[in-house]
Amino acid sequence: MRVLLVALCAGVACAATIGSSGAMAGAPQNEAQAAHSRYAPVIQKTDKPPTGYAVTFRFWAPTATSVQIKGDWYFADPSTLSAPASTETSTVATPGLLPSQWKPGDFPIASPNTTSMNFPVLAMTKDKRTGVWTFTTPLPSGIFSYGFFVDCASSTQTGCAEISDPANPPRNQSGSHTTGSVEAVSQVYVPSDSQFGTVDFSWQAPAAKQYQGTLTDVTYPSPASVTPVGENYLAVYTPPGYNPHRATPYPTLYLSHGGGGNETDWSTQGGLGAILDNLIGTGQIQPMVVVMPNAYTFANVTAYADYDANLVNSVIPYVQSHYRVSTAVSERAFAGLSMGGAITNSLLFNDTAEFGYFGVLSPGFQGAPPYGNGHYNVPAASSLTANQITGLKGVGIYVGGGWQDPIHFVATSEVSTLSSVGVSVSPDYINGGHEWYVWRILLRDFLTRVAFFPPVAG
C-alpha cells in the first residue's frame, strides 16, 4: 500500500505556499499551533474497494472528551432518486449512503436533501497516548470539505461551533490570523482510481507550484456598505504568470457566493484556485482575473439593488484601476450560485449591458417585486420589454443546476421563460443537489462552454 502524505498539500490548500492552491505561509505562533500543524490529513492509495483511496483525518485535542468530524460525503445512486417536485418546499428523498457504501456512478448529495448542507457528523477515535483523534474513510475522487466539533453535547450540533482543520486551514488563515471573511471548513482533494470506477476529477487537484495563480484578499472603498461602514471585501484570483503590464488586458469573471456565504466561499469550498489553474494550464480557458465580492454588507441584501449598484459603481472601477483587466463589456462575465444565481438574474435583466456573459448556477428564489416567478429575479415573459429582449439576445447566457436539487424547477423555469421569447440559453443539468459538488462542475462548464467563447461584441 502506497501512502501519499499530504500534510503540506491536503486538498486545495497547501500549507506552505501563497499560491491559489495554498494557505498563507507562517510559522505556528505557539506550542499548541505547532502540535496541531503536524496532523494534516493523510491520503492512502489502498488499491482496495470501494474507491481505491482512503483518507485519515487527524485532530490533536488531548484534553477533549469528544471530537466529531462533519464531511460532505453522503452519496446516492441517481437511478434510485425521485424527481423533485415543482414547488418551493420540495425535497428529494436520499438514502444517505456513507463512503463505505459508495458504488461507481454514485455522487455526493445531502441527506435529507434540502438546500442545507445535511452531511454526516461522525465520531473520531482518540489515541490516549498522543492525544490525537482520528477518523479514516474511503472516498472517491474530488474535493471534499470537512470540519470538526469538539466536546459538543448536542446530538444535532445545536449551539456548537464547527472549526476548520488547524493543520489544513482555509487558504486565507494562518494560525490565529485571517485576512478577509472566515469559513470554518477545510478541504481535501482525493485522486481517482480508474480500476474502481471513480470519476477523474484531476481538474480539481492542486496544480504544481509553478502553475498556480494567486489569491488575494482585498478591502476596497464601498460607500453603500453598512457593516463595515464604507468598505467591503473581495477575494481576487490572478492567473499563473499574471503580468500587470501585459499588452492584452485580461478578461474578468465576477463570481458571487450563495446565501449565508461570503467572498471566500469560492476559493475554499469551491476550489476555484485549483480549478482555474488546471483549466488555464491545459488550455481549456484563457488566463483571466476572477473577482469574488461579498454580498452581506448592504442595507437591503435580498432586493439586490444595493449589490448591483455597488458592483457597477464601486467594484468594477476598483478592479479596472488596480488590475490589468479589459474595460470592454465583451471581456466581463458574471456568475453566481443559489442566492448568487438570483443576483446574476438581477443583473441579467436590469444591467444586461454591463456584462457579456451570465452564468446562473442553481438559482435561488429570494428576491423582491416586481420579480414574480417564485421570487428568483426572472420577470414573466409577458412583462419583458422589447429593449430587454434585444439586450438578452446580445449576451451569452448559461443556466445550470443539479437534477436532484430541491429547487431545480427554478433553473428549468428560467430556461423556459428565456426560450419562449427567443433568447438563446445554454442549459446544463447534472446529477446532484444544492451543493458544492455541483457548483464546481457548473463553474468549469460555464467557463469552458460559454464565457468568453466566442467573444461577444461589447
pLDDT tens, the chain, 458 aa long: 333 333 334 335 433 222 343 333 333 446 566 666 789 999 999 999 999 999 999 999 999 999 999 999 999 999 988 767 666 666 778 999 999 999 999 999 999 998 899 999 999 999 999 999 999 999 999 999 999 999 999 999 999 999 999 999 998 888 778 888 888 999 999 999 999 999 999 999 999 999 999 999 999 999 989 888 999 999 999 999 999 999 999 999 999 999 999 999 999 999 999 999 999 999 999 999 999 999 988 887 766 888 999 999 999 999 999 999 999 999 999 999 999 999 999 999 999 999 999 999 999 875 443 333 444 678 889 999 999 999 999 999 999 999 999 889 899 999 999 999 999 999 999 999 999 999 999 999 999 999 997 655 44
Report the 10 Å Cβ neighbour count for 118. 18
Residue at grid coordinates 438570483? 342
- Alpha carbon distance 107, 122 (integer Å): 19
Q: Give CA–CA dist 1/3, Å, rounded.
A: 6
The architecture (CATH level 2) of 2-73+119-204 comes to Sandwich (2.60)
CA distances from 341 to 85, 110, 234 (A): 20, 20, 18
**pLDDT for the residue 213:** 98
d(Cα 185, Cα 190) in Å, to the nearest integer? 16
Write the DSSP assignment of 266-320 as a string of letters: TTTTT-HHHHHHHHHHTTSS---EEEEE--TTSS-TTT-HHHHHHIIIIIHHHHH
DSSP state of 264: T
SS3 150: strand
Per-residue pLDDT at 48: 97
Q: 357 has which bridge partners?
A: 333, 396
The rounded distance, in Å, linking the Cα atoms of 364 and 345 is 10
Query: What are the phi and psi torsion angles at 14 (to 5°)?
Result: -110, 120
pTM value is: 0.91
CB 145 within 8 A of CB 436: yes
In this prediction, residue 315 carries a pLDDT of 97
Question: What DSSP element (H or E) covers 69?
Answer: strand 67-71
Query: If DSSP codes are grouped into helix, strand and coil, which group holds residue 383?
Result: helix
pLDDT at 28: 43
Question: What pLDDT score does 177 carry?
Answer: 84
pLDDT for the residue numbered 300: 76
β-pairing, 289-293 vs 231-238, is antiparallel
β-sheet bridge partners, residue 176: none
Residue 115 CA neighbour count, 13 Å, CB half = 19
| Strand duo 426-430 + 396-402: pairing | parallel
Is 196:105 a contact under the CB 8 Å cutoff? no
Residue 243, amino acid: N
Residues composing the chain = 458
Give the pLDDT confidence score for residue 69 in this predicted structure.
98
- Please name the residues in contact with 195: beta carbons below 8 A apart, sequence gap of 6 or more: 47, 52
CATH (residue range 210-449): 3.40.50.1820
**Helix axis angle, 272-281 to 436-449, nearest 10°:** 30
- Nearest C-alpha neighbor of 202 from the set 270, 117, 141, 258: 141
Domain ranges of the chain: 2-73+119-204, 210-449
Could you list the beta-strand ranges (E) of 93-150.
Answer: 107-108, 121-123, 125-127, 132-138, 142-150
